[in-house]
């Protein structure tokens, strides 16, 4: 068997298109564009790349992008004051503070200052709580994107065995919560799990969010499993290469022979994250404007 490659890039492009069309409708109804504010503190090169792509994608979807670039030595008081200003700004529907922040700033304190109704990253404890008790709020973009790929492929997940490897607040835990809400039987594995290969073997759905290159081996997988690989790991450069290859947490070449479907890295989960961020921002805009959120979002 050769597993079907789940094309996250194509799915994300469709989602961005749909969000773009609905963003135009929103503009007609609300008399303004939906707006996303992104705050970047310091000059971390990876964060600069992320912020640039978020800006481009926001504008391409017909939304307003407000970028705030602050120097690395910005005080916490100044950053909190900017967040307060964005909370109060009616043109801003979503606020994203790019993490990690420089060491002298407390990520949690800054996230806590964002209005939960503008927290399109879904990192605020209020949104984590809403997800836990089944209220509508904002769900972190990466696990929500994984869930869209899973339901697109599998439809109803009721009764399926799902194993999530990783328990971070931004991927593993919300992923498990979403799978539980979809009536899967969910196991969360982590670094202290005994017999990880044995745990993974019973899964119809495997979501790997670990950060260890090609850790999950073909022989760990149940025949026909659906595999979602969240990991992004750069291998050391091989001879003649300037940069090492990007790989996921799953040994793709091996897993292809056992799984029924698998996301590649790159081109799987990665592109979904920004597309879902745009979706969350548009949902925030509808809610903030007191308009009904279209079903298809």
Choose which of 35, 62, 94, 172 interacts with ligand NDP (CB under 6 A): 172
Q: How many CB atoms lie within 10 A of CB 173?
A: 20
| DSSP per residue, 5-60 | E--HHHHHHHHHHHHHHHHHHHHHHHSS--EEEEEEES--HHHHHHHHHHHHHHHH
Q: Looking at 42, 62, 122, 166, which residue binds ligand NDP (CB under 6 A)?
A: 166
Residues forming beta bridges with residue 189, ordered by sequence position: 165
- When asked if residue 212 is in the footprint of ligand NDP (CB under 6 A), the reply is yes
Binds ligand NDP by CB under 6 A, chosen from 167, 201, 217, 222: 167
When binding is defined by CB under 6 A, the residue of 191, 202, 223, 297 that contacts ligand NDP is: 191
Nearer to ligand NDP, 45 or 240 (CB): 45
Q: Which of the residues are catalytic?
A: 54, 98, 121
Is the omega angle on the peptide bond into residue 100 within 30 degrees of 0, that is, cis? yes
Which one of the spans 72-80, 102-110, 112-120, 162-170 is the region binding ligand NDP (CB under 6 A)? 162-170
Tell whether residue 5 is a contact of ligand NDP (CB under 6 A).
Answer: no
Between CA 56 and CA 209 the distance in angstroms is 27
Q: Is 99 in the site for ligand NDP (CB under 6 A)?
A: no
- How far is residue 133 from each of residues 49, 127, 162, 183, 228, measured CA to CA in Å? 35, 10, 20, 14, 25
65 labelled binding-site residue: no
Among 35, 94, 264, 270, binds ligand NDP (CB under 6 A): 270
CA nearest neighbour of 222 among 191, 187, 266, 190: 187
Measured distance CA(124)–CA(115) in Å, rounded: 8
**Which parts of this chain interact with ligand NDP (CB under 6 A)?**
142, 165-168, 170-172, 189-193, 196, 209-212, 230-233, 269-270, 273
């Amino acid at each position: 068997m050769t597993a079907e490659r789940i094309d996250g890039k194509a799915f994300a492009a469709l989602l961005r298109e749909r969000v773009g069309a609905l963003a135009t409708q929103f503009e007609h109804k609300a008399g303004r564009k939906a707006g996303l504010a992104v705050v970047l503190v310091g000059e971390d090169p990876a964060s600069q790349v992320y912020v640039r792509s978020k800006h481009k994608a926001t504008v391409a979807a017909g939304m307003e992008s407000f970028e705030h670039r602050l120097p690395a030595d910005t005080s916490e008081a100044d950053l909190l004051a900017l967040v307060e200003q964005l909370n109060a700004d009616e043109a801003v529907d979503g606020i994203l503070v790019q993490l990690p922040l420089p060491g002298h700033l407390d990520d949690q304190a800054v996230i806590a200052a964002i209005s939960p109704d503008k927290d399109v990253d879904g990192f605020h404890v209020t949104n984590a709580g809403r997800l836990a008790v089944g209220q509508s709020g904002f769900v972190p973009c990466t696990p929500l994107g994984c869930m869209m790929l899973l339901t697109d492929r599998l439809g109803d997940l009721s009764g399926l065995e799902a194993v999530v490897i990783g328990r971070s607040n931004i991927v593993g835990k919300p992923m498990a919560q979403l799978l539980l809400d979809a009536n899967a039987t969910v196991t969360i594995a982590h670094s202290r799990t005994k017999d990880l290969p044995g745990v993974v073997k019973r899964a119809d759905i495997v979501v790997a969010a670990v950060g260890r290159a090609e850790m999950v081996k073909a022989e760990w997988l149940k025949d026909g499993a659906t595999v979602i690989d969240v990991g992004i790991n750069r291998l050391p450069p091989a001879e003649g290469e300037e940069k090492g290859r990007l790989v996921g947490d799953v040994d793709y070449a091996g897993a292809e022979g056992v799984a029924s479907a698998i996301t590649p890295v790159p081109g799987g989960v990665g592109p979904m994250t920004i597309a879902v961020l745009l979706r969350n921002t548009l949902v925030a805009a509808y809610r903030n404007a007191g308009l009904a959120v279209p079903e298809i979002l």
